[in-house]
Each structure stands twice: as C-alpha cells, then as structure tokens.
Amino acid sequence: MTTQANVRILEPAERDRIYTRLGAQFAPGGVLLPDKYVFEQLSCMPNGYIDVRRPAALAAQDITSRHATVAVLLDEMPNNARAAQALAAELGHPHALAFEVPASLLLSVLTHDCCDMYITTMTGDLLVVGCHEDRVLESGREVWGIVPAEA
C-alpha cells in the first residue's frame, strides 16, 4: 500500500464516539474498559445479528460497495503497538491510531494480518474486526464481521 493523502486522522472526540458506540453495542454492561483489549470485550451480539468469519477480500468488496469511507481504529494495547504503528505509517500517519480511510483502501488495510483493528462506518456501526489471531488461508486473511440474521 502506498501512503494516501486522502487518509484523515480522526479527532479524539470522533474516535471516542465510535468506541463508545462499539461498547454500547457489543460490550458486557455496554461500556468498553480502557485497560483491556477491545477485541476481548466485543462479546455481546446485538439482537437480530450473527457473527461470521469471511475472507477479507469478500468483506472489503461488500463494504466498498456500500460505503465511500470507513473508520479504521487500531487497538492501542502494547502487544498490538508494533503492527499498528507499521500500518499507521503506511497510511501516512505513523503516530495516529484512528483514521477515516477511503473504502477503496480497505483491502490493503485488512492485509495487515498481525494487527488488531476495528472497521466501522463513520457513525460507529461495526463492519469488520481484524485480530492478530485471524486465520490466514490461501485466499488470504479471514476476518470477523456481523450480518443480519436470516429470517
């Protein structure tokens, strides 16, 4: 991936609003705790949704067809720091951890398979989670996402 001028660092208030929404939707008690990995706290599925594993390429294709930009939040925990900093540098902002990214770059972002990240809409609806424990298959990285439950 090459550095993109159209990648914007999210303001702290924007980042915090998205994390607050993620906590309200997925965390036990509706709040994310600051001293824990976000991924470990995303354990409550909203009514009417199921979690799925899917290839990053398919997830990116689906998201790109519905969104012009997405929020990319890189987990701030120390075990994720090196991978997060490498991805942030490729996005052109090596000291930031939250970005607005054109959806056309999403697949390039998701190829960083050792980096914990949360991809949301700009209003904070969760689209995809990438975790350092994701499986990498011949077809590429598998990511976790949520979809409406089929009736």
101 located within any domain: yes
3 located within any domain: no
Where is mean pLDDT largest: 12-21, 44-53, 110-119, 127-136?
Answer: 12-21
- Tell me what pLDDT residue 1 has: 44
pLDDT, greater one: 27 or 133 = 27
Neighbouring residues of 22: CB distance < 8 A, sequence distance ≥ 6: 32, 38, 42, 118, 120, 124, 126
pTM score, two decimals?
A: 0.88
Q: Distance (Å, rounded) from C-alpha 32 to C-alpha 19? A: 7
Domain that holds residue 47: 8-148
1 located within any domain: no
Please count the structural domains in the chain: 1
Q: pLDDT, tens digit, for every residue of 102-113?
A: 999 999 999 887
2 located within any domain: no
42 located within any domain: yes
56 located within any domain: yes
Neighbouring residues of 124: CB distance < 8 A, sequence distance ≥ 6: 17, 18, 20, 21, 22, 71
Q: pLDDT, tens digit, for every residue of 113-137?
A: 778 899 999 999 999 988 766 566 6
